[in-house]
Amino acid sequence: MEFFENFLAILLFTLWIMVVVAFFVVLFRVIGDLFRDRELGGFAKTIWFIVVILFPFLGVLIYLIARGKGMAKRDVAAMQAAHDAQVEYTKGLMGEAGAAGEIKAAKELLDSGAITQAEFDAIKAKALAK
């Protein structure tokens, strides 16, 4: 019977640690959202911050009820902005794709004297054959 009591104590302690860690994750998310929100004025941010710091559980709960939808919308907007930035960055890396890009690159090499006319014609034929 002692084994089960010890096991239950360990299980409850683990659950308690998990709840505390989850609460701190939510607390830091709320504080981060508070400072990220551009629509909220400085005075309102200060009041929310004081409430969340002085009464953490109640403050976080009230913040999530009062401003949870806006928090989700700001998260989605931030993710969309990051996605758009990644797409723009990769477009710049790719250059022109396909046969037109290969022919253009080969023409630049031909104009610079790096390849001969015969090599350019071979590259062009290979690109158009794809």
Over 90: is that where the pLDDT of 27 sits?
Answer: yes
Which residues does 18 contact at the CB level (< 8 Å), separation at least 6?
none
Q: What is the DSSP letter of 7?
A: H
Task: Specify the pTM.
Answer: 0.61
pLDDT at 38 over 80: yes
Instruction: Reply yes or no on whether the pLDDT at 83 is more than 70.
Output: yes
Q: Distances in Å between the alpha carbon of 52 and those of 19, 67, 113, 121?
A: 18, 13, 68, 70
Tokens encoding 10: 């360990």
- What is the average pLDDT value for the chain, to the nearest integer? 90
Task: Say whether pLDDT at 109 is over 80.
Answer: yes
pLDDT at residue 53, rounded to an integer:
94
